[in-house]
Amino acid sequence: MTSLDGLRERGQMTWSEHEQGWVGTPGEIFDALAADGFHECKREMTSSRRDCRPVGGVWQGVNPLTNSVASLIWVARPAPRPATLFIEIDGEAFPSL
């Protein structure tokens, strides 16, 4: 079982059929991927033109033991709603089960 599976089982990340993505907190996803051996190699934030607030971003990591690549794209939502996240590992979407 991966740390992402653990987040899903504990309800810390849930599947949104409407948005076809995961709902959760990007920081928890980063931590889960790091726990599974992924080392961050890229992180970029996007911001709103009007107020420069972060509105989303992209993260990529590589697991040097398996040569797997993980990618995370997220779209921030107004507080207190969690972000919508799109997760891929080796080009395959993390399954929604």
Spell out the domain ranges in the chain: 3-93
Answer yes or no: are the C-beta atoms of 94 and 4 closer than 8 Å: yes
- Look-up of token digits 């089960």: 97
Q: What does each of the 97 residues of the chain score in pLDDT, given as a tens digit?
A: 689 999 999 999 999 999 999 999 999 999 999 999 999 999 998 887 677 677 899 999 999 999 999 999 999 877 777 899 999 999 999 987 6
Predicted confidence at residue 48, as pLDDT, reads 72
Predicted confidence at residue 35, as pLDDT, reads 96
Predicted confidence at residue 97, as pLDDT, reads 66
- d(CA 53, CA 78) in angstroms, rounded, equals 11
